[in-house]
Amino acid sequence: MDVIAGIPPRSPLSLRGRTHEFLNSTRSEAGIGRTFNLFIVTLILLNIVAMVLESVERIHNWMPRCFLAFEYFSVAVFSAEYLLRLWSCVEEPQYRRAVLGRLRFAVTPLALVDLSAVLPFYLPFLHADLRAMRMFRMIRIMRLLRIAKLGRYSESLQMLMRVLRSRGEQLAGAISILLILLLVAACLMYYAEREAQPTAFSSIPATMWWASVTLTTVGYGDMYPVTALGKLLGAT
């Protein structure tokens, strides 16, 4: 094969290489990879819609098998996508080693998000106790984690994540200050109100609810100070 302009011909990709290229197609690239990305985004959004509709008892009772079949289909697609990404990740230089490379890939944020999208479905099969009604409902709520998969396919969300990573120290400092203010406010209000309202302000952790809604200016009004010192603290 002739070499054009000094550029050597591109060697044909292996099946694993083609799989990796297919799964990591960007929005700007045309072809089947972009179509697959659009399919996954649509499936994620449909999962959120299905979860919302399933909470309406009349709709759920009308088509329970449809919801179940859609759940099985979604889990099958998301599971296959995760396994294929795990298998083909060694095509990237930083994950070149077969075992350690895949382990490193598995703990990356995007890979953990992909795993969280399917893990709630399999958990009830791992232990009988997880099939209890309350635990089962909690696991089903975890399906909301599937919306986090949009971060892989949305350039805007990816940009947001890059900003969060680049400003991690500043954000951590701001969150630390907020938590300190929350704790100080809860402690002061607890000692000011515990004798007058032993039920409402029963402990510092319980008082942190009041501190949270006050500092965020939500103000539900279910807890409020009645003592002069408590009112003074609440006003400041």
DSSP track, 30-54: -SHHHHHHHHHHHHHHHHHHHHHHH
Query: Is 177-235 CATH 3.90.550.10?
Result: no
Query: 151 or 92: whose pLDDT is higher?
Result: 92
**Residue type (1 letter), 194:** R
Contacts of 54 (CB under 8 A, 6+ apart): 60, 67
Q: Which of 233, 10, 230, 42 is nearest to 153 (CA)?
A: 42
Residue 7 phi/psi, 5-degree rounding, is -95, 120
CATH class for the region spanning 15-162: mainly alpha
Quick check: 187 pLDDT over 60?
A: yes
pLDDT band for position 3 (cuts 50, 70, 90): very low
Quick check: 54 pLDDT over 60?
A: yes
Q: Please count the helices (runs of H) and the strands (runs of E) in the chain.
A: 12, 0
CA dist 201 and 193 (Å) reads 6
Residues of the chain with CATH 1.10.287.70: 177-235
Task: Give the chain's mean pLDDT.
Answer: 79
CA dist 60 and 146 (Å) reads 20
- Residue 195 is predicted with a pLDDT of 87
> How confident is the model over 108-121, as a mean pLDDT?
85
pLDDT band for position 106 (cuts 50, 70, 90): very high
Tell me the per-residue pLDDT of 192-220, one tens digit each, with 9 for 90 and over. 888 888 888 888 888 888 888 887 776 65
Residues of the chain with CATH 1.20.120.350: 15-162
Query: pTM, whole model, 2 decimals?
Result: 0.63
Cα–Cα distances in angstroms (integers) from residue 75 to residues 70, 167, 236, in the given order: 9, 35, 51
CA dist 190 and 207 (Å) reads 6
